[in-house]
Amino acid sequence: MHRNKKTGPYTIAGETLVTRNEVPLRAALIDATIDDIANHGLEAVSLRRISAAVGRSTTAIFQHFGGKSGLLRASLDHAFECDRAFHKAMLDEIEGLVPDHNALVTVIALYIENLATAARAPIWREILFKAAQLEDAAGLLDRWYAMREDHWRNVCRVTPGRDHLPPLLVAYTAMEEVYASVLHADLGYRLALRETIERLLDAAFDRPASISSEVAIWQEKRVPAPPAPERKGDGALAERLIDVAAREIFQHGVMTLNHRRLTALAGVSPAMIVYHFGDMVTLANAAIWRALMQGLPAFLDDEIPETSSRGTMAAWATTLGETVSHGASGPSAGFYIAYARIVGQVCLLARRNESLVPLVRHLRSIEGSGVYRASKFSWPTMLEMSRANAAGFAIWIKGFAILNGGLARDKVDPRILIDAISALVARPNS
């Protein structure tokens, strides 16, 4: 064995055993892959960048993993084991605890905050919100989902009557984590997070209906929508570019939008984007906001006049079921899947593009505003909620929807939604 003076690793007959910092090469390549996904996104993984990070050529990747797909699979397996170790450590730490309402609020908040900042956590958010870009994403997510549901079953098993909570907590935390990954250092967000969890768990612990929503109301007032981009020239063309980009984002996600595809769809020259918006980022930011309003169901549309009519629980669940179902049909089919995908992808991008952080902050501050209004005017009377409770429901339903999409589940049984809201967020009239 000798030290290679040029590159640093130890070698035997030309075979590298460890990298410069004494980490085995296979492990170093996996770590570099996870870092690359976190820094550049699943769709932009670069073998050249990964191999350069450990001081080798791409040949090392093919020698150890057979190619890009093998490297990604090994990295996902490693990230899964790290995630499993995190869950075990948390269970070990709270062993013997019978969590009451306040204790479980703290456990959930800490869980979200830790996973939001964990080095390997972004890889699962990438898979969940970009499932179409990875082979066998449904199989990977199925294993991930089972691990998380088992974790919450272990947390709640010592608390009688809480058997309904585990799958609901998986959905809620999956969506809340993407917000936390961007906003975890924001005091306003951390206050809102705790209030949301508190109200989300009230029904599960038979607590009296609470109208406490001070933080949610404060947040909604203090976080304005990002300003519209400045535009030049023909306003009609600029609007058309935004509309075309918004449709593309709603149908296929933020990550599919690029300069070449947009100009082809709009039938304009690339110079038009630069002329009207200055750059693609400015246009994309405007289109993202508009995309979130695409296909807005009637029961969430603030422009529809208030009505005193109230539907039945069965009708409500059927309508909502269309918005969260992978295989549904109808005017609002898959709305929440598309909406959650956009929000999640925006959060993933905001970790690398600070210009999107104000949009993420605003989206989190208005979570539940449409649900809150609907619960007062068009949903069945038993579903009336506080503002904070509506925020919890809105985040949960997006998590539920994106999991249905990622796991390629078929049409949702409306009874699942009735049971969920009755057990988790339903409130009697106050």
Tell me, what's the pLDDT at 175?
96
Q: What is the enclosing helix (H) or strand (E) of 247?
A: helix 235-252
Tell me, what's the pLDDT at 160?
63
Tell me, what's the pLDDT at 161?
66
Structural domain contains residue 31: yes
Report phi then psi at 68, rounded to 5.
-65, -45
Written as six digits, the tokens of 109 are 């908040």
Task: Give the Cβ contact number of residue 76 at 10 Å.
Answer: 24
Structural domain contains residue 47: yes
3-state secondary structure of 10: strand
226-241 pLDDT, tens digit each: 766 665 556 788 888 8
Structural domain contains residue 6: yes
3-state secondary structure of 378: coil
Question: Do 8 and 19 contact (CB within 8 A), yes or no?
Answer: yes
Question: Do 34 and 126 contact (CB within 8 A), yes or no?
Answer: no
CATH number at residue 11: 1.10.10.60
Tell me, what's the pLDDT at 6?
37
Which DSSP state fits 429?
A: -
Question: Do 363 and 291 contact (CB within 8 A), yes or no?
Answer: no
Structural domain contains residue 21: yes
Range of the domain at 14: 2-66
Tell me, what's the pLDDT at 288?
87
Structural domain contains residue 62: yes
pTM of the model: 0.86
Structural domain contains residue 73: no
- Provide the domain count of the chain: 1
The tens place of each residue's pLDDT in the chain, 430 residues long, gives: 333 433 333 333 343 444 444 459 999 999 999 999 888 888 888 999 999 999 999 999 999 999 998 999 899 899 999 999 999 999 999 998 888 999 999 999 999 999 998 877 788 888 888 877 677 777 888 999 999 999 999 998 866 667 788 999 999 999 999 999 999 999 999 999 999 999 888 888 888 766 667 888 888 888 877 766 665 556 788 888 899 988 888 888 887 788 888 888 888 888 888 888 888 888 888 888 888 877 778 777 655 555 555 778 888 888 888 888 876 676 678 889 989 999 999 999 898 888 889 999 999 999 998 888 888 888 888 788 888 888 999 999 999 999 988 887 777 888 888 888 877 765 544 4
How many whole angstroms separate alpha carbon 237 and alpha carbon 276? 8
- Diameter of the chain measured on Cα atoms: 82
3-state secondary structure of 315: helix
Structural domain contains residue 20: yes
Structural domain contains residue 329: no
Tell me, what's the pLDDT at 11?
34
Question: Do 206 and 218 contact (CB within 8 A), yes or no?
Answer: no
